[in-house]
């Protein structure tokens, strides 16, 4: 299926690894001009902007780069998120993060998204419209005693997507949300990552957590963590004109984690 993305300009944040890298590669393979915003250079055929999205000035710099290089922005994928620099997730309990921890979590997972959208929307409007996909999380809709601050930030991202779709839909900008469940990225697999933290909680080891313990604890119907490419494929379809009638939607890709109607 031709996604009609050839020649379109896409900005992808957090594009150096995991979901963001899979999204950047997929959009580039579909013919889009991809601007990858990340602290490190991604292994993909993209135009890279080295930025730290904790810096309030970074989003405007990314959009300015896209305008300079390719003339504008048609697509924005707000993928950057997760633990801020220096933070390890999961962490248990509401009392664990202090005010500074909450601020850092919201700065990275919410305010960076707000600023990217604020920078991109005027440019999209000049081009007659565009498509925005924000990456949230199933933790936005399944509160837990784990990662309370992260879940709250991602719930805000989900709410913002709904509001923006109402405001800018009539002007040609579609806004949708993708909410992954647990995804097999280095957030789980790296030394000291989520799998090792979980292993410490339950007295297991990293490989067992990834293959057996985490899927069972999270009640994943598929019995496995989601692959980054499965998220990227959904994002590519959502930003495509082939999804022109879809806005204000949330697409959940979670291996069957969420059970409610």
Report which secondary-structure segment, H or E, holds 76.
strand 75-78
The strands making up 75-78's β-sheet, listed across from edge to edge, are: 47-50, 33-38, 9-13, 75-78, 130-135, 173-180, 250-253
Q: Exposed (0-12), middle (13-18) or buried (19+): which is 102, by Cβ within 10 Å?
A: middle
pLDDT digits 0-9 by tens, 143-197:
889 899 999 999 999 999 999 999 999 999 999 999 999 999 988 998 888 899 8
**Integer Cα distance of 140 and 142 in angstroms:** 6
Where residue 71 falls (left for φ over 0; alpha for ψ -120 to 50; beta otherwise) is: left
Count: domains in the chain: 2
pLDDT at residue number 164: 98
Residues 161 and 196 in one domain: no
Q: Give every residue of the chain whose pLDDT is below 70, as ranges.
A: none
pLDDT at residue number 144: 87
pLDDT at residue number 193: 87
pTM: 0.96
3-state helix, strand, coil in the chain (%, to 5): 45, 15, 40
* Residues catalogued as catalytic: 150
Residues 212 and 193 in one domain: yes
Residues 196 and 126 in one domain: no
Residue 214's domain spans which residues?
A: 184-225
Identify the CA nearest to 85 among candidates 60, 52, 117, 115.
Answer: 52
pLDDT at residue number 261: 83
Residues 72 and 192 in one domain: no
Residues 164 and 88 in one domain: yes
pLDDT at residue number 89: 84
Which letter does DSSP use for residue 75 in this model?
E
pLDDT at residue number 198: 83
Residues 198 and 100 in one domain: no
């Amino acid at each position: 299926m031709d996604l009609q993305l050839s020649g379109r300009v896409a900005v992808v944040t957090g594009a150096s690894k995991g979901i963001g890298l899979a999204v950047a590669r997929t959009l580039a393979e579909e013919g889009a001009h991809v601007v990858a915003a990340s602290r490190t250079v991604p292994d993909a055929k993209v135009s890279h902007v080295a930025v730290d999205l904790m810096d309030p000035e970074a989003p405007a710099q990314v959009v300015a780069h896209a305008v300079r290089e390719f003339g504008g922005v048609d697509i924005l994928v707000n993928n950057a998120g997760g633990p801020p620099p220096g933070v390890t997730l999961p962490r248990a309990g509401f009392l664990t993060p202090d005010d500074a921890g909450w601020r850092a979590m919201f700065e990275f997972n919410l305010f960076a998204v707000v600023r990217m959208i604020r920078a991109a929307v005027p440019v999209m409007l000049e081009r007659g419209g565009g498509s925005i996909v924000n990456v949230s999380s199933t933790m936005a809709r399944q509160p837990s005693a784990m990662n309370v601050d992260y879940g709250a930030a991602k719930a805000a991202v989900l709410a913002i997507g709904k509001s923006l779709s109402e405001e800018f839909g009539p002007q040609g900008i579609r806004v949708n949300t993708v909410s992954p469940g647990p995804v097999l990225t280095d957030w789980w697999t790296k030394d000291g990552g989520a799998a090792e933290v979980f292993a410490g909680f339950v007295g297991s080891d990293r490989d067992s957590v990834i293959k057996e313990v985490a899927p069972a604890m999270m009640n994943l119907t598929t019995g496995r963590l989601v692959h980054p490419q499965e998220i990227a494929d959904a994002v590519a379809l959502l930003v495509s004109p082939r999804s022109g009638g879809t806005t204000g939607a949330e697409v959940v890709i979670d291996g069957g984690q969420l059970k409610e109607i």
